[in-house]
A and B are shown apart, each in its own frame.
Chain A
Amino acid sequence: MKKKKGFGLLAKQKAAGWGFLAPASILIFVMSFYPMVRAFITSLQTGPAAKLKWAEPLFKNYTRMVNDKVFLTSMGNTFLYLLIQVPIMLVLAILLAQLLNNKDLKFRGLFRTLIFLPCATALVSYSLIFKTLFATEGLVNSFLKGIGIISENINWLGQSGTAKAVIIIALLWRWTGYNMVFFLAGLQNIEYSVYEAANIDGASGWKTFWHITVPLLRPVIVMTGIMSINGTLQLFDESVNLTNGGPANSTITMSHYIYNNALGQGVANFGYASALSFIVFILVAILAFINLKVGDTRD
């Protein structure tokens, strides 16, 4: 082959760039975007999977959601988890990160590992462990009874209020350490001299935290916020394994309800399940957008 003169260095670099991007892009298209398009098409269809036909009217799967009490319940539950769990978790994560960033603290590495460790457990296994802990004859009840706080075993997972609380506690345990790692990384990027300057100016620890640490961590807060919102809206394992949505659907999440429509309750209703997933998709997009706008520092 003769070398073509027209292939300049720039063009070659461009080609190389495309070459490196191609495998990942193709995979994302095939594994992620194509299914999304198919899911949207399915969401306009109705009937059993073997003989799907177009819904009449076309957006029927979307309009019927408004009357779906269980879906509305699941949405309420998911947003309750979101509103209570995410703020508590992020605040805890920042505080822990701040504590563990202290250079004078002994066994820092050990503490960091311990707090991050819950993240290494599989979602299903930790859900099952929490289920065992909070069983009527479980460890939590025996402990509380032992130290005299309660006199009779509490059916934690059998009452809607306590069942929701258990799910929130489980989520906090599982995800706080994970978010803390991001904040730790963010804190490493803040110059120590900034703190020194603040110190010389006479700022207290609390003031330094609020006026230096938090603003400088803003991008990390936005990122963890988006990730947590996204994760909570797609919450599935805990609802399925810890409480199975019960009692009386009081802990069921949107994803769990989508699953119930697709598999696990006899013949699948893929059309409706796909429509429900698109609603979750839109909700995630809206919340992420708001989050980005709020976190944007450029006025």
Chain B
Amino acid sequence: MTKKIVALFIAMCLMLGIASAFAEKLTVTAWDANFNGNALQAAADDYKANVDPDFELEINIVSGSSDVENDITNAGSSGDYSLLSDIVLFQDRYIKNFVENYPDAWVSLEGADINWDDITAVKQSYSTIDGVHYGAPVDNGTAIMAYRVDLLEQAGYTIEDMKGITWEKFLEVGKAVYEKTGKALLSMDGSGNDLPYMMLQAEGVSLWKDGKPFIVGNEKLRRVVELLIEMEKEHVLILSNDWTGYTNETIMQDQVAGVLNGNWIIPTMTQVADNAGKWQITTMPTLDGGEGYATNGGSSLYITGNCKNVDLAKKFLAYTFGGSKETYDNALRTGGVVTCCISAGQSDVYSEGVPFFNNQPVYKDITEMGAKIIPVEESPFHYVLRGYLGVAMQQIKDGADIDAALEEAQTATEFYMEGMGY
């Protein structure tokens, strides 16, 4: 009896296995169901409706980007790639290093029918390794500088006043806002502080130079660090202890009158429904005045070395995230995912006014801003440097000498890289 059941079970497994091998099916692993999950669902529906009715996409949602990174690390260390999905979502900043170190874990997008000229330069700069395209873009990390117009007004300013200002002026406005409303004009996660990176990018300056950390001797960085410390002292900037503190306390508990981050922060802002209609976005300030453009975060889809049907994966990615208006329109509607495909960004959905932002067509503005970002030198050790820079800022705040602290950050980052053979 038991034997029969086992035999039946094995037969069923085999049949299912064979059936699934014939079906047009792909698996994908990603994080953030509401954002990336919805974008992938939009793409799957699009491909199923317009290309192949038998197509099936199995979306595995994991709890964070590090889960995927650890999957690749484990597969790469053991040399066994058989547990990877056909496609994985991967953080833009890490991909270069992972492709270099685990080359067998990936399949390039060469031969996929994607018009690369239609994708923003800055997005491609992450996922192109030695001239070969690996990633299909999903979201667009273009930074937005959002202000609470009602609170600015109480302090005697308008959103127009904030356009193209210097950070000095921003500090001045911030002091007025804090005095009148008790709210800070900006907040960030102090342990993973993205402000120096974004503020420098708006200047066209990187934290890296020729593959080495560029902290010591980086005059603009020194100015930025000094500014941020001054801002925190004056209650213009809240640096929270961690990421949850940043999103759940400073933004969702309504402690700030301004937000600067990649536009994926919008779903966090919209959690405070009471503030609908009071926000508007514009470009970010710069050190010497003029409108600033920056990007932060973002991820792309990559085919893994375990993909059973590479042709299908390439076709699927090229058709959908390669520039399908239907995919991107629905990804925006359901997930708030903003494209970095220039043509898809010209869709009507993008021009619609968004009620939360006082009917400003923010998504159109974001895609336009995205096209103006100047790519700067990136490094797979970005987050290591960011961590040490955060340590330095904490030390400076506690009274350490600014140059000594920055030098320590430089040495610590170099030490880490040296251990990795760089």
Q: Give A residues with C-beta under 8 Å from B.
A: 46-51, 61, 64, 67-70, 135-137, 155, 157-158, 160, 243-244, 246-249, 261, 263-270, 272
Could you say which residues of chain A place their CB within 8 Å of the CB of B73?
Answer: 49, 263, 267-268
Could you say which residues of chain B place their CB within 8 Å of the CB of A266?
Answer: 69, 94, 97-98, 380-381, 383-384
Contact B190 A51 (CB under 8 A): no
Contact A247 B412 (CB under 8 A): no
Contacts between chains A and B (CB distance < 8 A), count: 94
CB distance from B78 to the nearest CB of A (A): 8
B50 at the binding interface (Cβ < 8 Å): no
CB distance from A131 to the nearest CB of B (A): 9
B241 at the binding interface (Cβ < 8 Å): yes
Could you say which residues of chain B place their CB within 8 Å of the CB of A47?
Answer: 420-421
Known contacts A46-B421, A50-B102; A265 and B249 CB within 8 A of each other: no
Could you say which residues of chain B place their CB within 8 Å of the CB of A249?
Answer: 391
CB distance from A133 to the nearest CB of B (A): 14
B395 at the binding interface (Cβ < 8 Å): yes
Known contacts A48-B76, A266-B94; A70 and B420 CB within 8 A of each other: no
Please report the C-alpha to C-alpha distance between residue A50 and residue B415 in the assembled complex, in whole angstroms.
Answer: 21
Please report the C-alpha to C-alpha distance between residue A265 and residue B379 in the assembled complex, in whole angstroms.
Answer: 13
Q: Give B residues with C-beta under 8 Å from A.
A: 66, 69-70, 73, 76-77, 79, 94, 97-98, 101-104, 190-191, 241-242, 245, 249, 253, 380-381, 383-384, 387, 390-391, 394-395, 398, 408, 411-412, 415, 418-421
CB distance from B356 to the nearest CB of A (A): 25
Could you say which residues of chain B place their CB within 8 Å of the CB of A68?
Answer: 415
Contact A247 B101 (CB under 8 A): no
Could you say which residues of chain A place their CB within 8 Å of the CB of B390?
Answer: 246, 248
Could you say which residues of chain B place their CB within 8 Å of the CB of A61?
Answer: 419
30 contacts between A and B (CB under 8 A): A48-B101, A49-B73, A50-B79, A51-B101, A64-B418, A67-B415, A69-B412, A135-B249, A136-B241, A136-B245, A137-B249, A158-B190, A158-B241, A246-B191, A246-B394, A247-B190, A247-B191, A247-B394, A263-B66, A263-B69, A265-B384, A265-B387, A266-B94, A266-B97, A266-B381, A267-B97, A267-B420, A269-B419, A270-B77, A272-B419
Could you say which residues of chain B place their CB within 8 Å of the CB of A46?
Answer: 419, 421
Contact A50 B77 (CB under 8 A): yes
Could you say which residues of chain A place their CB within 8 Å of the CB of B101?
Answer: 48-51, 267
Q: Given B77, B103, B104, B387, which contacts A49 in the complex, CB threshold below 8 Å?
A: B77
CB distance from B233 to the nearest CB of A (A): 14
Contact B420 A263 (CB under 8 A): no
Contact B421 A244 (CB under 8 A): no
Please report the C-alpha to C-alpha distance between residue A64 and residue B73 in the assembled complex, in whole angstroms.
Answer: 24
Q: Which 10 residue pairs of A and B lie closest in terms of their CB atoms, listed nearest first? A: A49-B77, A248-B394, A48-B101, A248-B391, A50-B76, A246-B191, A267-B97, A158-B241, A247-B394, A50-B102
Please name the residue on chain A nearest to B101 by beta carbon: A48
Known contacts A247-B191, A272-B419; A267 and B394 CB within 8 A of each other: no
Please report the C-alpha to C-alpha distance between residue A267 and residue B101 in the assembled complex, in whole angstroms.
Answer: 8
Consensus secondary structure, chain A interface: loop
Could you say which residues of chain B place their CB within 8 Å of the CB of A158?
Answer: 190, 241
Please report the C-alpha to C-alpha distance between residue A243 and residue B383 in the assembled complex, in whole angstroms.
Answer: 18
Please report the C-alpha to C-alpha distance between residue A70 and residue B103 in the assembled complex, in whole angstroms.
Answer: 31
CB distance from A66 to the nearest CB of B (A): 11
Known contacts A51-B101, A155-B241, A158-B241; A269 and B394 CB within 8 A of each other: no
Please report the C-alpha to C-alpha distance between residue A244 and residue B103 in the assembled complex, in whole angstroms.
Answer: 31
Please report the C-alpha to C-alpha distance between residue A138 and residue B421 in the assembled complex, in whole angstroms.
Answer: 44
Please report the C-alpha to C-alpha distance between residue A92 and residue B190 in the assembled complex, in whole angstroms.
Answer: 36
Could you say which residues of chain B place their CB within 8 Å of the CB of A157?
Answer: 241
Contact A268 B77 (CB under 8 A): yes
Please name the residue on chain B nearest to A275 by beta carbon: B419
CB distance from A226 to the nearest CB of B (A): 32
Please report the C-alpha to C-alpha distance between residue A13 and residue B76 in the assembled complex, in whole angstroms.
Answer: 48
Further 20 A-B residue pairs, CB within 8 A, beyond A69-B408, A266-B381: A47-B420, A49-B77, A50-B104, A64-B415, A68-B415, A69-B411, A69-B415, A135-B245, A136-B245, A155-B241, A158-B190, A246-B390, A263-B69, A263-B70, A265-B384, A265-B387, A266-B380, A267-B98, A269-B419, A270-B77
Most A CB atoms within 10 A — which of B101, B242, B420?
B420
Please report the C-alpha to C-alpha distance between residue A243 and residue B387 in the assembled complex, in whole angstroms.
Answer: 14
Could you say which residues of chain B place their CB within 8 Å of the CB of A268?
Answer: 73, 77
Please report the C-alpha to C-alpha distance between residue A197 and residue B312 in the assembled complex, in whole angstroms.
Answer: 87
Please report the C-alpha to C-alpha distance between residue A73 and residue B396 in the assembled complex, in whole angstroms.
Answer: 17
Contact A70 B190 (CB under 8 A): no
Q: Given B245, B383, B408, B421, which contacts A265 in the complex, CB threshold below 8 Å?
A: B383
CB distance from B205 to the nearest CB of A (A): 23
Could you say which residues of chain A place their CB within 8 Å of the CB of B79?
Answer: 50
Most B CB atoms within 10 A — which of A50, A158, A160, A244?
A50
Could you say which residues of chain A place their CB within 8 Å of the CB of B70?
Answer: 263-264
Q: Given B66, B241, B380, B420, which contacts A264 in the complex, CB threshold below 8 Å?
A: B66
Please name the residue on chain A nearest to B405 by beta carbon: A248
CB distance from A74 to the nearest CB of B (A): 13
Please report the C-alpha to C-alpha distance between residue A61 and residue B394 in the assembled complex, in whole angstroms.
Answer: 29
CB distance from A223 to the nearest CB of B (A): 36
Please report the C-alpha to C-alpha distance between residue A137 and residue B70 in the assembled complex, in whole angstroms.
Answer: 34
Please name the residue on chain A nearest to B98 by beta carbon: A267
Please name the residue on chain B nearest to A52 by beta carbon: B77
Could you say which residues of chain A place their CB within 8 Å of the CB of B408?
Answer: 69
Could you say which residues of chain A place their CB within 8 Å of the CB of B411?
Answer: 69
CB distance from B19 to the nearest CB of A (A): 34
Please name the residue on chain B nearest to A60 by beta carbon: B419
Contact B242 A246 (CB under 8 A): yes
Most B CB atoms within 10 A — which of A67, A135, A155, A265?
A265
Please report the C-alpha to C-alpha distance between residue A244 and residue B189 in the assembled complex, in whole angstroms.
Answer: 12
CB distance from A279 to the nearest CB of B (A): 15
Most A CB atoms within 10 A — which of B249, B253, B390, B394?
B394
Please report the C-alpha to C-alpha distance between residue A50 and residue B66 in the assembled complex, in whole angstroms.
Answer: 18
Please report the C-alpha to C-alpha distance between residue A44 and residue B241 in the assembled complex, in whole angstroms.
Answer: 36
Could you say which residues of chain A place their CB within 8 Å of the CB of B245?
Answer: 135-136
Contact A136 B102 (CB under 8 A): no
Please report the C-alpha to C-alpha distance between residue A47 and residue B421 in the assembled complex, in whole angstroms.
Answer: 6
Contact A269 B420 (CB under 8 A): yes
CB distance from B394 to the nearest CB of A (A): 4
